[in-house]
Amino acid sequence: MRLLDAGGPCAVTLHAVGEATGISAAALYRHYENKRSLLEAMVRANLDYFNAALQKAKHDAAFPFGALDLLMRANFDFARRFPFRYRFLLGASRENSPLGAEVRQAFGAVTDLVRAAQQAGEIKGGEAEHISALIFGAAYGTAELAVSNREAVAPDLAPLLLDLLAGREKPGAASAKNPHHKPAFR
């Protein structure tokens, strides 16, 4: 993962992994058939992180919007801290492969949370798939800002997007539709 974080997927080779870990390339080939299988294992590890954040958000939040808020913050933080990992995960979601389907299924949980928050009157109506795409696109943009060394802007994007989705007139205002909702700005 450190190789991916430092230089993207092209920096991850079995030879480089062997050098970084002190394991021979021959030994690595016993665990990974090729670079592709190594990269797929990395995608699955990042997918595990996303799924754990999703389960934690669902467990910790009393309302759908709260779960969406927690998951978005985790997603934006992950994209900001690990931009290459985030790009890599999104790239896998576009693949026509079992792994791509697995990632798309996990990302579908965001759409489910958007729908639940819409049904509860916590966020604006609209196509849940489009709102989810906006969320992932904003996180991707956050990752790009981090890569271009403008990360000071990135942490403010998640709460701003949440306030826009909730239709608030001023940042941090409690939602009139849900008086128990905590403001997105902290």
Tell how many helices (H) and how many strands (E) occur in the chain.
9, 0
pLDDT at 28 over 90: no
- Determine, yes or no, domain membership for 91: yes
Whether 176 is covered by a domain: the verdict is no
Burial letters 86-118, b for 16+ CB under 10 A, else e: bbbbbebbeeeeebeebbeebbebbbbbbbbbb
Q: What is the dihedral of CA 84, 85, 87, 89, to 10 degrees?
A: 160
* 174 is a domain residue: no
Asked whether residue 31 is domain-assigned, the answer is no
Angle at which helices 35-60 and 64-81 cross, to 10° = 140
Q: What pLDDT does 149 receive?
A: 66
Does 31 have pLDDT greater than 50? yes
Q: Is residue 29 part of a domain?
A: no
Residue partners of 30: CB distance under 8 A and separation at least 6: none
CATH of the domain at 101: 1.10.357.10
DSSP E strand stretches across 2-150: none
Task: Kindly state whether residue 64 falls inside one of the protein's structural domains.
Answer: yes
pLDDT of residue 84: 85
Look-up of token digits 């919007």: 65
101-135 pLDDT, tens per residue? 999 998 899 999 999 999 998 888 889 999 888 88
**Domain total of the chain:** 1
**Average pLDDT of the chain to the nearest whole number:** 80
pTM: 0.74
Range(s) of the domain holding residue 100: 39-166
Residue 28 lies in a domain: no
pLDDT at 52 over 90: yes
175 burial level (CB within 10 Å; 0-12, 13-18, 19+): buried
How many C-alpha atoms does 127 have within 13 Å on its Cβ side?
Answer: 4
Neighbours of 143 (CB within 10 A): 24
Please report whether residue 69 resides in a domain. yes
Question: What pLDDT is attached to residue 57?
Answer: 92
